[in-house]
Structure 1
C-alpha cells in the first residue's frame, strides 16, 4: 500500500518548504503564513521553532551556516543564533505589498531561485528571481499565477517549475554558468481541478509532486509520465523532499489552511509531516554560496 505515515510531533498551520540537512541530520520546514520554521533532529524528533518575522515562503541552507530566505519583502538571510532577519539591499518587490515569495530552491551552482505570487493567486503577476552570490539578483520569468515546486535534472541541463493555477509544470533549458533559463515548454499538464504544489526531483530525474486538495503525492518519471500516487491522509499536501542517510525517505509537508471546523475534524492530522519509504534515492540539495 502506497500510504504515507505521520512523522515528528510538529504541526504547522501551513507547512511548506521541507529541507534535509545530511551533515547535521536535521529536517527543516516552514510555517509559511506564520513566518516561522521548524528544525527537527532526525534521530530524536526534538524540534525547535524560529520566528523570522514575516511570511516565509522558502528557506535554504548556506555554506556559511546562515539561512537564506524568500519572505514577504524579497530575499534575506536569517541568523539563527541571533534570531535576526536581514534583507539584502534593494530586495526585489520590497514595496509590493500584494505579493510575497512562495517557493524556491538552490541551483547546482549555489544560486537561490525563488518566485512570487499574489496572496490569493488571482492574477498572473508572479515573477521568478535568481539571487547570485554577490547579492545581485535578476528576474528570469514573469506572468506566473503561483510560482511553485522547482528543481533541476540530474545532468543539470534542465530546470523545472510548477505554476499551480495553470495546472502545469514547465521545463527550461538551463545554463549552469550564468543561471539563465530559456526555451520554455510544457512538461506535465494536469486537469483544471488538479493543483500541483511543491515537488522534488529524484536521482533518476523523476518528479514527486504534492497535490493541493489532492490528498497525495504523485510520482512521475523523468519524461513526465505518471508512475504512482502516494496517499496522504489529509486534504492538502504541500511539498516534499528526500531525507535520511540513503535519501530514500520521502518527507511530505501538509496544511490545515482554509479548512472549516468540520473539515478539520475530518482531517485531524492536517499540518503534520508524513514519511514514505521509496525505492529511488533523491539528490543532495546544494547550499547557497554566500
Structure 2
C-alpha cells in the first residue's frame, strides 16, 4: 500500500463514522450515521455487507456474546447481523429526544465509553458516559454540543475526549477504570484547519484525529505536540481505525455531509472508505462485556 490515502469503496456516505477492526471476523465495521446504516468491509474479499438501522447510528462495537452493541439515537441496542435485528438494552437519554449517540470506545475491562450530542448541532446537551452491566454513568464533564471519542492511552490510564465545535481535545486521568480527574487541554486545532472529529490512539501512545472540513488526519505525541499531518482528497475525514492481521493498516471514514453540489463535484471521493500506511501499528481491539 502506498503511504497516501487510497479509496477502497465508493460509498458517498453522508456521514461515515465509527470504524472498528473486529479481529474475530477479520473485517472492518463502520456506520453511516445519517443513512442510517451499518457496514462490514472484508479487505481479503474486497466485499461490503450493509444493514439498515432503525435510527441514526453513531457507533458499533463487538460484544462478548458474538454479537454487537450499537449506539442508536434511541439508545444502546444489541445488534445481530445474522437476523438484522436490533434489541434495546439501555436508553441513556430518553428525556433528550433531540440528542443522538455519536462515538465510542471500549476500555481494558470491556466497558463502553461513549458520547452524545445535539443532533441539530446547536445546544450544549452532549455528555460522555460509561456503560457496563450496572448501566450508564455520567462522566461528569460539563455538557458540550458535539462530543467525539473517547479513546484510551495504551495503559488505559488516560482518556482522550473531543469538543468538536470548540476545536479542542482534552485528556483526563482514569483511576480504577472509572474515576476521572485532572482534566486538562491536550491540544487545540487552529482556525482554518478544520474541526477535530474521532480520536484514535496507536501502539506508541500517539493520538490521531480526523479533521472535519480539514482535508486530512493528524497525529500528536502524548504531550499534545503535532507530529504529522496526512492530506486527503476529501474535506471531511471523520475517524481512523487500525486494522489487518498486524494492525498496520489505517482505515479512515469520510463524509459528504454539508458539501455543496460544487464541492461534491470537486470531491468525487467524498464519503468513501480510505486506507493508508500510517507507519505505526495500532492497539488490539477490546470486546465489550456489557
TM range (shorter): over 0.9
1:134-213 equivalences in 2 (<5 Å): 134-140=133-139, 141-175=141-175, 177-193=176-192, 194-213=194-213
> How far off its partner does 1:226 sit?
0.5
- Match of 1:23, SS state, is helix
Counterpart in 2 of 1:73?
Answer: 74
> 1: distance between equivalents of 2:149 and 2:248?
19
> 2: distance between equivalents of 1:88 and 1:41?
28
Whether contact under 8 Å (2:12, 2:256) holds in the other structure is no
Determine whether 1:64 maps to 2:68: no
TM (norm. structure 2) is 0.95
Whether contact under 8 Å (1:61, 1:67) holds in the other structure is yes
> How far off its partner does 1:221 sit?
1.2
- Match of 1:88, SS state, is strand
Q: Deviations over 1:134-190 (max 9, x none)?
A: 251111133122110221111111111011011111100112x34232221111112
> 1: distance between equivalents of 2:50 and 2:134?
27
Whether contact under 8 Å (1:199, 1:207) holds in the other structure is yes
Q: Deviations over 1:22-68 (max 9, x none)?
A: 22111111000122111111201111101121000111111211111
Counterpart in 1 of 2:242?
Answer: 242
Determine whether 1:275 maps to 2:279: no
Counterpart in 1 of 2:16?
Answer: 15
Q: Deviations over 1:230-262 (max 9, x none)?
A: 111011111111011111111110000111111
> 2: distance between equivalents of 1:163 and 1:152?
16
Whether contact under 8 Å (1:58, 1:103) holds in the other structure is yes
In structure 2, relative to structure 1, the CA distance for the partners of 1:178 and 1:220 (3 Å cut) is closer
> How far off its partner does 1:9 sit?
4.2
- Match of 2:162, SS state, is strand
- Match of 1:165, SS state, is coil
> 2: distance between equivalents of 1:26 and 1:142?
36
Counterpart in 2 of 1:98?
Answer: 98
- Match of 1:229, SS state, is strand
- Match of 1:241, SS state, is strand
Whether contact under 8 Å (1:239, 1:252) holds in the other structure is yes
TM (norm. structure 1) is 0.95
Whether contact under 8 Å (1:125, 1:142) holds in the other structure is no
> 2: distance between equivalents of 1:11 and 1:109?
36
- Match of 1:142, SS state, is coil
**Contiguous gaps of at least 5 residues in structure 2:** none
Q: Could you say what the CA RMSD is over the residues aligned between the two structures, in angstroms?
A: 1.5
Determine whether 1:254 maps to 2:216: no
